[in-house]
Each structure stands twice: as C-alpha cells, then as structure tokens.
C-alpha cells in the first residue's frame, strides 16, 4: 500500500521532534535552546499540515498558498494563482494559517483556553485575523488576502 502524504508529514514531524529533544539534551551543545525551539515549531507545523491534508483527502492544494494577481488594466484578477517561492516551488501555508484553518473546521475546533492564549501576544495585538505585528504596522495583507489594520 502506498504511503500518503499526510503520513509522510507525520513521520517527518516525529523525526523533527526527536531531533529537537536530542539536541536539547546535549549539555555542551551551543545554541541548543534556539535549535530546540526551531525544530519543535517545525514539528508542530508538519503535524497541523498533515491533519489538514488528511481532512481534505490528501489533496496538496489544501495546504498551498494562493494569490490574486494584477491584470493588465491594474485591477485584481478573480482567478487565484499558486504562489511560488524564489526557487519556483509552490509555497505552503504558515503555522498560523494552519491553526486558523483547523479552527474553522467543525471537527477540529480549538478550546476557548487555546483561543485566548493564541490571541495574546507580547505587544498586546491579536493574531486572530492571521496578521502578524509587523504586518499591522506596515499595512501588508494577511495570509488570507485581507488587509491588516
């Protein structure tokens, strides 16, 4: 039987978390706390994307990032285009966007305590709209295309 993409992401998440723990447990390893944090966040992101994929029949388009482009006359197009990174690969959703998508699903609603914790930030701003603090001050749009206040 063929291994699904969601299963491969879960395996990668497990490997990232094991690597994070092993790195943290090395007493003489410099930069171990920061390395642990990066690998643990990567593991969470992979797990959330695996859940989104499994909920959407392993369709990769469910975790891809899309954008609207400007037409020749300067208006925004109605068609959504696959957003690509600098190397030309499809860009996937962020950790924050994955949390928002899972919270919108009836089967994976977040508890009120998690929502309250997620909305708090060091600057007192809310991430609920998918906007990060640096996007708010610069007026850049959120990941779902909305303008940040």
Our count of domains for the chain comes to: 2
> Which distant-in-sequence residues (6+ apart) come within 8 Å of 57 by Cβ?
none
Pair 56, 10 in one domain = yes
Q: Residue 75 above 70 pLDDT? A: yes
Which residues form the domain of 52?
5-109
Helix, strand, coil % in the chain, rounded to nearest 5: 50, 10, 40
pLDDT at 122: 52
Identify whether the C-beta of residue 84 lies closer than 8 Å to the C-beta of residue 92.
no
Angle at 65 between CA 50 and CA 111, to 5 degrees: 50
**pLDDT (tens digit, 9 = 90+) per residue, 95-112?**
889 988 888 887 778 778
Q: Distance (Å, rounded) from C-alpha 24 to C-alpha 30?
A: 10
Q: How many of the other CB atoms lie within 10 Å of CB of 45? A: 20
* Res. 120 pLDDT band, cuts 50 70 90: low
**Is 75 domain-assigned?**
yes
Pair 53, 98 in one domain = yes
* pTM given for the model: 0.73
**Is 116 domain-assigned?**
no
Tokens of 123: 């600057």
Pair 145, 80 in one domain = no
Give all strands (DSSP E) within the chain, no chain letters.
Answer: 66-70, 76-82
Pair 148, 104 in one domain = no
Pair 75, 137 in one domain = no
Pair 17, 45 in one domain = yes
pLDDT at 111: 79
Q: Residue 130 above 90 pLDDT? A: no
Pair 105, 134 in one domain = no
**pLDDT (tens digit, 9 = 90+) per residue, 4-61?**
999 999 999 999 999 999 999 998 989 999 999 999 999 999 999 999 999 999 999 9
**Is 146 domain-assigned?**
yes
Angle at 141 between CA 140 and CA 142, to 5 degrees: 125
**Is 86 domain-assigned?**
yes
Identify whether the C-beta of residue 114 lies closer than 8 Å to the C-beta of residue 99.
no
Pair 138, 75 in one domain = no
């Amino acid at each position: 039987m063929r291994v699904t993409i969601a299963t491969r992401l879960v395996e990668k998440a497990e490997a990232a978390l094991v690597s994070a723990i092993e790195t943290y447990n090395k007493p003489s390893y410099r930069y171990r706390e920061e390395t642990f944090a990066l690998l643990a966040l990567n593991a969470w992101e992979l797990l959330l994307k695996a859940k989104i994929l499994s909920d959407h029949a392993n369709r990769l388009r469910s975790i891809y990032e899309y954008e609207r482009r400007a037409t020749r006359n300067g208006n925004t197009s109605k068609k959504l285009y696959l957003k690509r990174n600098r190397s030309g690969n499809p860009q996937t959703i962020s950790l924050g966007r994955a949390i928002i998508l899972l919270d919108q699903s009836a089967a994976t609603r977040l508890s009120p305590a998690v929502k309250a914790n997620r909305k708090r930030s060091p600057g007192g701003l809310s991430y609920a709209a998918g906007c990060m603090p640096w996007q708010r001050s610069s007026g850049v749009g959120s990941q779902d295309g909305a303008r940040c206040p």
